[in-house]
Amino acid sequence: MLPFLPTNLINIVSGLSKMKISYFISATTIGNMIYGLVLASVSYGIVSVSHQYRQLFYVIIAVAAIIVAVRFIKKQRTSNI
């Protein structure tokens, strides 16, 4: 999330590196979700301040649930091997 480097350039360079595709996809997805959340929160905060905290709480809960689900699935896969 460096403001002087476009995220597309970072994603392309990272994709060309010798990194596992699963790590690249998950890191890119998480990074873009955070970047999008920050941009959406800033623009949403300018439009409507009153509902911002409740909406942000829901987004944080949803992201936490996704992280827990991914970890659970990953743990299930490794324990089956």
CA-based angle 55:59:65, to the nearest 5?
145
DSSP 8-state symbol, 53: H
**pLDDT averaged over the chain?**
75
Q: What distance in Å separates the CA atoms of residue 77 and residue 81, rounded to the nearest whole number? A: 7
Residue 61, CB half-sphere, CA atoms under 13 Å: how many? 6
For residue 81, pLDDT over 70 is answered with no
Over residues 1-6, the mean pLDDT reads 55
Its pTM stands at 0.42
